[in-house]
């Protein structure tokens, strides 16, 4: 129901995510300023969260990394929606052979496990921001096509469209007035749910050395870096991991709320493959 | 006949998928940046000449037309021949067969753990919704789904291996080595299953036919096992098929985190070294495995829901 | 002592909202007791509360709940279980869920017997088969899954399983509401014969006063969670005391009377529009707006959904189409509106040969037709406010206001005036469909249909999903609008009395064919088709009030 008010927590989560985008502005130091005299220090007044093996300020790196990890995820999702939704809309509405062809492509992409595809793609394309974006896009667009298509298929045969057909409304009008309102909510809910998934994917790829590379302060890459210094400076392991955990948990919670508003349940077959 | 047709159709689909898969894996490697010949020669840090590279390209058949190379590749795949690994110089198949048992062991034990977790926690949560127990399960799901698998793995290693010396930190030399990877992986994979079983159990218990059985005076436990639980299995099986990707993906991450010499670790190392034979074999084997499991899931619908078997209706 | 005694029963949600408020009820040995009420009156909840079959979010309270001398209130769940199915059996409205879809019907009947008696499987089998045969069905049906048998058969099998253990009380909760009227009458006759042979009592929950009139011994009328009137059936029908009871009785369009409005309480006809010239009954002189000749619709599977139908709808008139579900009447409607391609025959809209049109001319022709559908919830995009749905047809044809309104061109003013015509307040404009009741949505549907001044309006079961009293008011409204605006209707329904009430000319449809056709006044002619006569019997009038 669109009239029901959003819980305040939703705004709080959005505020936190927005704030993270400002990470670099808030960082007290340069994330890449090496100071070998300050290696592996614990938290201090100057370095609130301590320093890493090259004496770089951990707080600044985590804050800057937010823009990479979260920013990359949001950008990848936005592009996935931009590709997936119109394709699903057309596929569902036009139907016939066009739909058949689109669905065969979709089926093939769905049959390939997303993590594996992303790992192989980023491995083949080589590390880097853009290549990672491509890898995520390839595994994510398909979910939005499928969701949109099934929403359209579900609405397409509803009685009220008969009234529209009789009234002689143009296809553009019907899509705009009747289909789009049914697509926006569920798509946004799913995308929010997906933020956490994509962040985990980005971090995992970087952690195994397939994603964004050091010295870039991507959270997964930082964890890979810090792994060797676990005993001396546990904060190098704990802080970036905690950052991932908190952001993912917040995004999933927000997604959960939105899904509930749009009465999509997680076992909905339309989206099961996206969430599992 | 009615029973055989969907199996047959699936098999035909399987053959089609095999061609798509082999072609993709062939193509990806053709289009990928980096040159196998170059990277083979680069192993020695001596400078190489253009002529040397070309000679090796000829020798590897890299200068032949695309379709010829695909045909050769396909013929090899059908015979289980993926060429030689650049990393080790041994046949790719040998490398894979060596790595396969570890991955299979990890995946099976994890899945068994996930199933137990799902039925215990999902059942507990659905029994009394909105109570403390339900909320605790909900919290576990939220935390489990948000924890990066590799991070949880590292923390577990630090705690149980480095600090407490209770369990080995890496490898599968002993069966105790399986405990930490399984925990890290199961915690990440179980939450969606638990949530879905909880939801579908609650939904099933509100179904009209459950009330009808109750009105006939059927014992509560019979209603639960025979009617409610049965109804809840279908959504669970649906997600089982589609979540296979996260199990396989998670296995790769966990193998690397815990240094388990499995297929995932092999594939990632091969990618880093541009060892294309291994990568191609990995793509095809994983793809076909996923296809076969999805086929089994699809067919199991027919056992779970007689309406599908009898009407020939498809779940979509 | 009564068989079932309920004293001061209250059922409330866990949040404290009371759905049933202090109901007293007594069912005697061997009687047919009818509990009458509209949706939301609490009648089904009352029935479920007897053996505590309530949804987990509901709690019941009562001063006494006695069955055959035993106190049901204090009984623990495990003892209640032994009573359910054995001493008190249920039949529900939703026959498709009477059995779990994953097991055969026989499996679930065995399961029921096992739950109550220990007897060898052979004996169980004999008993089940005997029970199924007694209900007039082939015992081999029990080997089937629920989705393999038809609705009527399934409900009869549910009935067979309910009487397996010869219960003393059978609670039937709207058991025939979801069935077509033919299957319904079979189930009702079975119920009556079960009562006859076993001497059990029946607590029958229904909204249907005709069923009550035909079968019940005693009656209680429920409204808003409370019983407002009770008594013997004759007393209720002939001398209703409570205004609500009278309103319910007045809501049924009588076949034998010729009133132009149903005498229900509520708004009087107050249309501000000047009545137009309108042809009287049977005015064959009026020009036809819609004509169909030899209409055939064959589906890909070979089913002849519509099989050679001829019809003529005249300007300002109402053509009624009666038929069971599956008779092809809705398909016919969609064909006439050219929403579906016809297989054979011709359709003329005025002098336009409709089925030869395509593209632009077809679109223009469609804009001269309108449609009101059965399901008021599906007739609206639930994400758009009422004003957007209401004005959609006007916007599509590029007009600002219908000519019969004189309120200027401001869209909201026009929309408000349209709502006023169907007697809804203007503040409904900004509501979402979910905030309206079924009857209110149906009114908006009607306003939307008349907004473009169409050549004719197809009303496809417009009242089927409404409560009787709401249905009566919608029928009155349709009549008032027709008088005021000179509208032409094609009114489609399974309910002979509604169709008869509103139409000048009637067609009776069965299996895709028109089997009978007559003017309103000719309903009781001896020349009527046998099928029509059967329908007349089903929709027979209640005895006239004293």
Contact B158 A203 (CB under 8 A): no
CB of C89 within 8 Å of any CB in chain B?
A: yes
Domain of C406 in residue numbering reads as 376-453
Please name each of the domains of chain B with its CATH number.
2-78 (no CATH), 100-273 (1.10.3720.10)
Indicate whether A94 belongs to any domain.
yes
Q: What per-residue string of b and e applies to A179-211 under the rule 16 or more CB within 10 Å gives b?
A: bebbbebbbbbbbbbbbbbbbbbbbbbbbbbbb
Phi-psi category of C91—alpha, beta or left, where left has phi over 0 and alpha has psi -120 to 50?
beta
Q: Nearest-CA distance from A145 to chain C in Å?
A: 21
- C-interface mutation test, from B130, B211, B212, most C Cβ less than 10 A away: B212
Residue A93 lies in a domain: yes
pLDDT, tens digit (0-9, with 9 covering 90-100), for B12-71: 888 888 888 888 888 877 776 655 566 665 555 566 677 777 777 777 666 777 788 888
Of B23, C88, B155, give the one whose Cα is nearest residue A226: B155
Instruction: Give the pLDDT score at A169.
Output: 80
Q: Which among B212, B214, B310 has CB closest to C99?
A: B212
Yes or no, beta carbons of C371 and A158 under 8 Å apart: no
**CB B53, CB B40: distance < 8 Å:** no
pLDDT at C28 over 50: yes
Q: In the prediction, which pLDDT does B51 show?
A: 77
User: Are residues A3 and C384, on separate chains, in Cβ contact within 8 Å?
Assistant: no
Is the same domain home to C178 and C228? yes
CATH number at residue A269: 1.10.3720.10
SS (H, E, C) C228-258: EEEEEHHHHHHCCCCHHHHHHHHCCCCCCCC
More confident residue, A162 or B63: A162
Closest by Cα among C500, C494, C505 to C288: C505
In a domain, A27, yes or no: no
The per-residue pLDDT for B43 is 53
Chain C CB contacts of A158 under 8 Å are 378, 381
Taking CB atoms and an 8 Å limit, are B283 and A124 in contact across chains? no
What mean pLDDT do residues C308-324 have?
A: 92
The secondary structure of B47-113 as a DSSP string is ---HHHHHHHHHHHTTTS-HHHHHHHHHHHHHTT---B-TTTSSBHHHHHHHHHHHHHHHHHHHHHH
Measured in Å, how far apart are chain C's first and last C-alpha atoms? 32
E-state strands within A24-84: none
DSSP assignments along chain B, one per residue: -TTHHHHHHHHHHHHHHHHHHHHHHHHHHHHSSS-HHHHHHTTS-S---HHHHHHHHHHHTTTS-HHHHHHHHHHHHHTT---B-TTTSSBHHHHHHHHHHHHHHHHHHHHHHHHHHHHHHHHHHHHSTTSHHHHHHHHHHHHHHHS-HHHHHHHHIIIIIIIS--S-SS-SSSGGGGHHHHHHHHHHHHHHHHHHHHHHHHHHHTSHHHHHHHHTT--HHHIIIIIIIHHHHHHHHHHHHHTHHHHHHHHHHHHHHHT--SHHHHHHHHHHHT-HHHHHHHHHHHHHHHHHHHHHHHHHHHHH-HHHHHH-----
Domain encompassing residue A244:
55-275
Question: What pLDDT shows up at residue B245?
Answer: 73
Gap from C389 CA to chain A (nearest CA, Å): 9
| Nearest-CB residue to B192 (from A112, A244, A275) | A275
Q: Which chains touch C (3 or more CB pairs under 8 A)?
A: A, B
User: Is pLDDT larger for residue C19 or for residue B81?
Assistant: C19
Q: Find the closest chain B residue to A235 by CA distance.
A: B155
Å between C536 CA and nearest CA of chain B:
34
| Alpha-carbon gap: B6 to the closest alpha carbon of chain C (Å) | 20
- Measured distance CA(C258)–CA(C280) in Å, rounded: 14
Residues C29 and C141 in one domain: yes
In 3D space, the residue among A110, A129, A94 whose CA is nearest the CA of residue A216 turns out to be A129
Alpha-carbon Rg of chain B, whole angstroms? 24
Would A75 be classed as within a structural domain?
yes
Alpha helix segments (H runs only) across A180-262: 180-207, 219-226, 235-261
Counting one residue from A and one from B, how many pairs have CB atoms under 8 Å apart? 151
pLDDT over 90 percentage in chain C: 64
Q: Annotate C30-61 with b (16+ C-beta within 10 A) or e (fewer).
A: ebbbbbbbbeebbbbbbbbbbbbbbeeebebe
Does residue A215 have a cis bond before it (omega within 30 degrees)?
yes
Q: Please check the confidence at residue C241 and state whether its pLDDT lies above 70.
A: yes
Residues on chain C touching A156 (C-beta within 8 angstroms): none
Q: Does residue C233 register a pLDDT over 50?
A: yes
Same structural domain, C64 and C147 = yes
Residues of C with CB under 8 A from a CB of A: 334, 337, 339, 363-364, 366-367, 369-371, 373, 375, 378-381, 383-384, 388-389, 392-393, 395-397, 432, 434, 448, 452
- Distance, in angstroms, between B13 CA and closest chain C CA? 27
Chain B, residues 174-233, CB within 8 A of chain C, namely 206-220, 222, 226-227, 230-231
- Nearest by CB to residue B148, choosing from A119, A241, A273, is A241
Query: What's the pLDDT score for residue A3?
Result: 41
Distances (CA, A) of B144 to B139, B140, B202: 8, 6, 22
Please choose, from the candidates C221, C223, C224, the residue with its C-alpha nearest in 3D space to the C-alpha of residue C237. C221
Residue A17 placed within a domain = no
The better pLDDT of the pair B5, C95 is held by C95
Q: With an 8 Å Cβ cutoff, are C102 and B231 in contact? A: yes
On whether any CB of chain B is under 8 Å from the CB of A234, the answer is yes
Which of C150, C169, C159, C218 has the alpha carbon at shortest distance from C189? Answer: C159
Question: Would the pLDDT of B2 be above 60?
Answer: no
Please give the tally of structural domains in chain C: 3
Q: Which of C383, C392, C452 is closest, CB to CB, to A2?
A: C383
- Shared domain for C193 and C96, answered yes or no, is yes
Nearest neighbour of C53 by CB, restricted to B214, B218, B219: B214
Q: Tell me which of A47-51, A186-190, C35-39, C447-451 is least confident.
A: A47-51
* Cβ pair C396:A164 closer than 8 A: yes
C102–chain B Cβ distance below 8 A for any pair? yes
CB contact B309 to A (< 8 Å): no
| Residue in chain A nearest B290 by alpha carbon | A111
**Within a domain: residue A260?**
yes
pLDDT in tens, C44-77: 999 999 999 998 889 999 999 999 988 998 889 8
Q: What is the pLDDT of residue A186?
A: 86
A-to-C residue pairs, Cβ atoms closer than 8 angstroms: 66
Last residue of one domain, picked from the residues C202, C220, C250: C250
Closest CA in chain B for residue A104: B17
Question: So what's the pLDDT on residue A89?
Answer: 94
Helices (H), ranges, C398-495? 411-421, 438-450, 468-485
Q: What is the pLDDT at residue A220?
A: 85
**pLDDT higher at A185 or C33:** C33
Option in C53, C77, C82 nearest B215 (CB) = C53
For residues C245 and C306, state if they share a domain.
Answer: no
Residues of B in contact with C84 (CB under 8 A): 214-217
Q: Which residue has the higher pLDDT, C348 or C282?
A: C348
Query: Could you say which residues from 268 to 307 on chain B have a Cβ atom under 8 Å away from some Cβ of chain C?
Result: 304-307
Whether the CB-CB separation of C53 and B215 falls below 8 Å is answered with: yes
Q: Are residues C106 and C140 in the same domain?
A: yes
Instruction: Tell whether A112 is covered by a domain.
Output: yes
Nearest Cβ partner for A113 among B146, B154, B245: B245
Distance CA C358, CA B119 (A): 58
CA distance A151 to A184: 10
Query: How confident is residue A268, by pLDDT bands cut at 50, 70 and 90?
Result: low
Is C182 inside a domain boundary?
yes
For residue C383, is it within any domain?
yes
Q: List chain B residues with CB under 8 Å of A203.
A: 148, 150
* C30 and C138 both lie in a single domain: yes
Question: Does residue C264 register a pLDDT over 90?
Answer: no
Residue in B closest to C51 by C-alpha: B215
Is C497 found in the same domain as C355?
Answer: yes
Q: Does A108 touch chain B (CB under 8 A)?
A: yes
Residue C270 located in a structural domain: no
Position A182 in a domain: yes
The answer to whether residues C300 and C178 belong to one domain is: no
Whether C179 shows a pLDDT value over 90: the answer reads no
Mean pLDDT value across residues A226-243:
82
Q: Between chains, do C367 and A166 touch, taking CB under 8 Å as contact?
A: yes
Q: Is the pLDDT of residue B208 over 50?
A: yes
Nearest CA in chain C to A177: C384
Res. A25 pLDDT band, cuts 50 70 90: confident
**Distance separating alpha carbons of residues A240 and A233, to the nearest angstrom:** 13
* pLDDT interval class at A253 (50, 70, 90): confident
CATH number reported for the structural domain that contains residue C506 in this entry: 3.40.50.300
Using an 8 Å CB-CB cutoff, list chain A residues near C334: 162
C396 vs A159, A169, A182: nearest CB: A169
- Number of domains chain A is built from: 1
Same domain, C364 and C425: no
Q: Do C92 and B230 make contact, defined as CB atoms within 8 angstroms?
A: no
Pair B105, B112: CB distance under 8 Å: no
Nearest CA in chain A to B163: A231
Residues C153 and C295 in one domain: no
pLDDT digits (tens, 9 = 90+) for B235-281: 888 787 777 777 888 899 999 989 899 999 999 998 888 888 888 89
Contacts with B206 from chain C: Cβ below 8 Å: 55-56
Interface predicted TM-score (ipTM): 0.84
Q: B140 touching A, CB under 8 A?
A: no
Does residue C53 sit in the same domain as residue C79? Answer: yes
A191-225 residue pLDDT tens? 888 888 899 998 888 888 887 777 778 888 888 88
Q: Please name the residues in contact with A219: beta carbons below 8 A apart, sequence gap of 6 or more.
A: A62, A65, A66, A68, A69, A203, A206, A240, A241, A243, A244
Whether A159 contacts chain C with CB within 8 A: yes
pLDDT digits (tens, 9 = 90+) for C118-160: 999 999 999 999 999 999 999 999 999 999 998 889 999 999 9
pLDDT class for B1, splitting at 50, 70, 90?
very low
Q: How does the average pLDDT of chain B come out, rounded?
A: 83
| Selected residue of C396, C438, C451, C464 to mutate for chain A interface (largest A Cβ count, 10 A) | C396
pLDDT band at B80 (very low <50, low <70, confident <90, very high): confident
């Amino acid at each position: 129901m669109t009239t029901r008010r959003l819980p305040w927590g939703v705004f709080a989560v959005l505020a936190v995510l927005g704030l993270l985008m400002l990470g670099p502005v808030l960082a007290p130091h340069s994330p890449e300023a090496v100071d070998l005299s300050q290696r592996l220090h614990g938290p201090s007044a100057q370095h609130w969260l301590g320093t890493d093996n090259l004496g770089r300020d951990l707080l600044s790196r985590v804050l800057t990394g937010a823009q990479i990890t979260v920013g990359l995820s949001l950008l990848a999702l936005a592009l996935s929606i931009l590709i997936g939704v119109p394709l699903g809309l057309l596929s569902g509405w036009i139907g016939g052979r066009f739909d058949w062809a689109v669905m065969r492509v979709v089926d093939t992409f769905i049959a390939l496990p997303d993590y594996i595809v992303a790992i192989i793609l980023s491995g083949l394309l080589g590390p880097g921001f853009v290549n990672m974006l491509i890898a995520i896009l390839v595994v994510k667009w398909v979910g939005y096509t499928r969701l949109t298509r099934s929403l359209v298929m579900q609405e397409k045969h509803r009685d009220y469209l008969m009234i529209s057909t009789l009234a002689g409304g143009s296809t553009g009008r019907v899509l705009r007035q009747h289909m789009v309102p049914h697509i926006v909510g569920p798509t946004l809910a799913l995308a929010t749910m997906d933020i956490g998934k994509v962040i985990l994917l980005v971090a995992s790829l970087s952690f195994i050395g397939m994603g964004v590379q050091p010295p870039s302060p991507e959270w997964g890459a930082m964890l890979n870096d810090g792994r060797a210094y676990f005993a001396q400076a546990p904060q190098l392991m704990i802080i970036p991991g905690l950052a991932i955990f908190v952001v993912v948990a917040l995004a999933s919670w927000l997604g959960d709320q939105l899904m509930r508003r749009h009465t999509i349940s997680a076992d909905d077959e339309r989206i099961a493959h996206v969430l599992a | 006949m009615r029973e055989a047709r969907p199996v047959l159709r699936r098999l035909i689909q399987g053959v089609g998928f095999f061609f798509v898969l082999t072609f993709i894996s062939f193509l990806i490697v053709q289009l990928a940046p980096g040159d196998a010949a170059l990277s083979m020669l680069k192993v020695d840090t001596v400078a190489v000449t253009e002529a040397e590279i070309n000679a090796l390209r000829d020798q590897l058949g890299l200068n032949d037309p695309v379709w010829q190379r695909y045909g050769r590749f396909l013929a090899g795949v059908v015979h289980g021949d993926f060429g030689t690994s650049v990393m080790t110089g041994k046949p790719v198949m040998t490398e894979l067969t060596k790595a396969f048992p570890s991955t299979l062991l990890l995946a099976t034990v994890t899945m068994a753990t996930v199933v137990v977790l799902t039925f215990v926690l999902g059942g507990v949560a659905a029994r009394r919704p909105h109570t403390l127990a339900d909320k605790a399960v909900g919290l576990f799901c939220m935390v489990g789904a948000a924890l990066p698998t590799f991070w949880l793995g590292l923390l577990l290693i630090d705690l149980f291996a480095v600090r407490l010396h209770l369990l080995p930190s890496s490898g599968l030399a002993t069966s105790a080595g399986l405990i930490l990877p399984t925990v890290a992986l199961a915690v990440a994979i179980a939450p969606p299953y638990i949530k879905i079983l909880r939801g579908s159990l609650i939904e099933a218990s509100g179904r009209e036919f459950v009330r009808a059985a109750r009105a006939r005076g059927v014992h509560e436990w019979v209603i639960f096992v025979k009617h409610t639980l049965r109804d809840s299995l279908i959504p669970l099986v649906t997600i089982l098929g589609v979540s296979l990707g996260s199990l396989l993906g998670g296995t790769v991450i966990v193998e690397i985190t815990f240094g388990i010499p499995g297929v995932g670790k092999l594939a990632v190392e091969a990618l880093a070294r541009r060892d294309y034979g291994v990568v191609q074999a990995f793509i095809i084997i994983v793809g076909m495995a996923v296809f076969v499991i999805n086929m089994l899931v699809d067919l199991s619908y027919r056992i779970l829901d007689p309406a599908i078997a009898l009407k020939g209706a498809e779940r979509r | 002592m009564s068989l079932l005694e309920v004293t001061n029963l209250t059922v409330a949600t866990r949040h404290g909202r009371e759905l049933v408020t202090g109901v007293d009820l007594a069912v005697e040995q061997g009687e047919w007791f009818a509990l009458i009420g509209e949706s939301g009156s609490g009648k089904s909840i009352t029935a479920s509360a007897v053996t505590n079959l309530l949804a987990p979010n509901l709690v019941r309270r009562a001063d006494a709940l006695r069955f055959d001398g035993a106190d049901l209130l204090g009984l623990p769940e495990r003892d209640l279980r032994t009573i359910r199915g054995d001493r008190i059996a249920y039949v529900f409205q939703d026959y498709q869920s009477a059995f779990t879809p994953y097991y055969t019907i026989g499996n679930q009947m065995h399961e029921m017997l096992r739950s109550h008696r220990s007897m060898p499987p052979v004996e169980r089998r004999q008993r089940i088969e005997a029970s199924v045969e007694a209900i007039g069905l082939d015992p081999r049906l029990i080997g089937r899954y629920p989705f393999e048998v038809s609705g009527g058969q399934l409900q009869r099998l549910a009935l067979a399983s309910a009487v397996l253990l010869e219960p003393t009380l059978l609670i039937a909760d709207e058991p025939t509401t979801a069935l077509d009227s033919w299957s319904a009458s079979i189930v009702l006759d079975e119920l009556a014969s079960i009562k006859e042979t076993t001497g059990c009592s029946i607590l029958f929950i229904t909204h249907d006063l005709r069923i009550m009139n035909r079968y019940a011994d005693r009656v209680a009328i429920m409204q808003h969670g409370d019983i407002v009137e009770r008594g013997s059936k004759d007393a209720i029908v002939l001398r209703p005391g409570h205004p609500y009871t009278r309103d319910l009785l007045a809501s049924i369009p009588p076949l034998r009377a010729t009133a132009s409005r149903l005498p229900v309480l509520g708004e009087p006809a107050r249309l501000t529009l000047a009545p137009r010239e309108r042809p009287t009954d049977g005015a064959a002189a009026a020009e036809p707006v819609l004509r169909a000749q030899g209409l055939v619709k064959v589906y890909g599977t070979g089913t002849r959904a519509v099989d050679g139908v001829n019809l003529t709808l005249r300007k300002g008139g109402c053509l009624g189409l009666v038929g069971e579900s599956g008779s092809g009447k809705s398909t016919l409607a969609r064909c006439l509106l050219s929403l579906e391609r016809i297989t054979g025959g011709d359709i003329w809209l005025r002098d336009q040969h409709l089925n030869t049109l395509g593209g632009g001319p077809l679109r223009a022709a469609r804009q001269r037709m309108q449609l009101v559908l059965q399901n008021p919830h599906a007739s609206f995009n639930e994400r758009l406010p009422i004003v957007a749905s209401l004005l959609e047809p006007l916007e599509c044809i590029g007009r600002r206001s219908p000519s019969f309104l004189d309120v200027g061109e401001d869209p909201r003013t026009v929309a408000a005036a349209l709502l006023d015509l169907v007697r809804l307040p203007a503040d409904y404009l900004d509501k979402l469909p979910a905030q309206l009741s079924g009857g209110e949505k149906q009114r908006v549907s009607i306003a939307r249909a008349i907004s473009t001044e169409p050549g004719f309006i197809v009303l496809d079961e417009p009242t089927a999903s409404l409560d009787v009293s709401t249905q009566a008011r919608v029928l009155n409204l349709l009549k008032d609008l027709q008088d005021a605006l000179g509208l032409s209707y094609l009114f489609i329904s399974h309910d002979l009395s509604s169709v008869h009430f509103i139409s000048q000319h009637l067609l009776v449809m069965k299996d895709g064919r028109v089997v009978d056709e007559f003017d309103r006044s000719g309903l009781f002619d001896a020349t009527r088709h046998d099928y029509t006569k059967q329908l007349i019997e089903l929709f027979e009038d209640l005895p006239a009030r004293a």
